[in-house]
Structures are given as C-alpha cells and as structure tokens.
C-alpha cells in the first residue's frame, strides 16, 4: 500500500507538576499513513469543535493508531475493539453535531 511518510517527534517539556523534563532526548520515529495526516488535522481544526491544539492531537493520534490497527487487522488485540472504532470513525466523519440535529437522543 502506498503511504505518506511522516517523522513524528514527541518532546517532553514538563511533568504533571510543572517540573522541567528529565528526559534527555525526544522520542523520534517515522510512520506511514494511507491518508494525508496534515490535511486531516486541518479539516479537524476547521470543524471548530475543539481548540486547535486539541484538534491536532486528536487527528494525529487517531491516524497513527488507526494505521497500526489497519496494518495489524488480524491481531487478536484489536478483535473486540475494531467494530467500535469503525463506528466511532463513521460518527466522526459525519461532521460536527449541531443542537437539534436529531442525532442525539432526548
């Protein structure tokens, strides 16, 4: 499968108490994805449901996770979760839910 290629860098800035990081090096790795993650993050930000940084984190996290799941679809770890993830993604792709749209039970 042809893939877009990405270099992912995670740099620890501070711990939960606000203390500076003690990690010497950021985590860096390359990953592929069948989708353009940057375009998806842009669309997620454009939906206006979340602040930009939250939308970016959601888009990148989902796409990295979903690609691993797709590439390992036969792995038993994903067997029970896959149908729920598909349903979640279908719901996400519908777009933002607007009040009174009828999609939320009363």
Count: domains in the chain? 1
The Cβ of residue 4 has, within 10 Å, a number of other Cβ atoms equal to: 14
Could you tell me if residue 76 is inside a domain? yes
Environment class of 68 (CB within 10 Å of its CB; exposed 0-12, middle 13-18, buried 19+): middle
Domain carrying residue 57: 4-93
CATH at 39: 3.10.20.850
Query: pLDDT tens for residues 7-28?
Result: 999 999 999 999 999 999 999 9
Supply the pTM of this predicted model.
0.84
pLDDT confidence bin for 5, thresholds 50/70/90:
very high
Could you tell me if residue 98 is inside a domain? no
Give yes or no for residue 39 having a pLDDT over 50.
Answer: yes
Could you tell me if residue 101 is inside a domain? no
């Amino acid at each position: 499968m042809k893939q877009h290629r990405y270099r992912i860098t995670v740099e620890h800035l501070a711990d939960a108490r606000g203390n500076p990081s003690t990690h010497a090096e950021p985590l860096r790795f390359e990953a592929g994805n069948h989708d353009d993650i940057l375009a998806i993050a842009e669309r997620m930000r454009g939906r206006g449901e979340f602040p930009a940084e939250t939308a970016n984190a959601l888009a990148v996290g989902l796409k990295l996770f979903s690609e691993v799941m797709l590439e390992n679809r036969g792995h038993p770890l994903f067997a029970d979760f896959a149908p729920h993830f598909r349903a979640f993604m279908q719901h996400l792709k519908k777009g933002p839910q607007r009040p009174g749209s009828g999609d939320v039970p009363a």
